[in-house]
Amino acid sequence: MDAKKREKDHDSDFTKITPALLKSRTGEFELESILFLKLRSLGIFDLGCVGECKNLERLDLSGNNITNITPLASLRLLLVLNLSSNRISNLEPISNCDSLQSLNVAGNLISSIENLQCLQSLMKMESIRLKDNTYNYTNPVCKNSSYRSALLEMFPNLKVVDGERVVGRGSDLYQLCKDIDDTIKAGMLKNGQMQELPDCKPWVEDGFWEIKKSNNAIIEEACKQFNDVVSECRLLNHKAAHVITQTERTLSGISQPKQYTV
């Protein structure tokens, strides 16, 4: 068997979740011993035996080709589930995941608010993401301007929608940042086009905002949300510096007195 054929066969093993794949990824020989599982961007379209991991608390299946999530129905202890960037249109199976607190399904094929109503029984849900601007992920339902308010009605304990706090401390800050961002974008438009940004030096050293990862599923999801906000703030700072520079140049040109030669 030549190298190319072996490589092809190796890649094809990842299209379906098997006990061998799970054991090689986690080092666990018993599927029920697996608590945290990350299987990103492996080309998976068949969830196979993942439902046998009865004690899973955090599962990341983002960036695959998944359409059918039926095997997830048996994961009753799951706290955090990331299904972003797949091809999922039916969320019914995860309505059995009673412990679920955080769900990311950005970048899928969820077409309407009705497709989300099957999840109303998940009373512990605190965070749900259908859109992720950082990666340009969305769902058809996001074209409906009322989908956010519908989510708040369906999930009484919801605190975060699409990475933004909607209740509690921080919600006003998010709104303020959005208002500032909109203002800056409006100021940067010239003839209907966004102007290029100059290179700017960071105002803090690299790694200043990095947070040490924790094995706790909820804390790790909070870290992800915080890092998303920091990324947006960095971009906001970059844009603000450009607008300030452009404004100073404009004002300098206006205030400069005309000179005449004799």
Each of the 262 residues of the chain gets a pLDDT tens digit; together they read 444 444 444 444 579 999 999 999 999 989 999 999 999 999 999 999 999 999 999 999 999 999 999 999 999 999 999 999 999 999 999 999 999 999 999 999 999 999 999 999 999 999 999 999 989 999 999 999 899 989 988 998 899 999 888 865 444 555 555 566 666 666 655 555 555 555 666 655 666 555 444 445 556 666 777 777 777 777 777 777 777 877 777 777 665 555 544 4
Instruction: Reduce the DSSP state of residue 194 to 3 states and report it.
Output: strand
Where in the chain are all domains bearing CATH 3.80.10.10? Answer: 11-163
11-163 belongs to which CATH class? alpha beta
The two structure tokens encoding residue 209:
């905002």
- The owner of tokens 């960071």 is 202
Q: What's this model's pTM, rounded to 2 decimal places?
A: 0.64
Bridge partner residues of 161 (DSSP): 128, 164
**Rounded alpha-carbon distances, angstroms, from residue 48 to 19, 33, 60, 67, 90:** 9, 17, 15, 13, 17
The two structure tokens encoding residue 184:
């800056």
Main-chain phi, psi angles of 106, to 5 degrees: -60, 145
Q: Distance between CA 53 and CA 190 in Å, rounded?
A: 55
Element (H, E) at 108: none
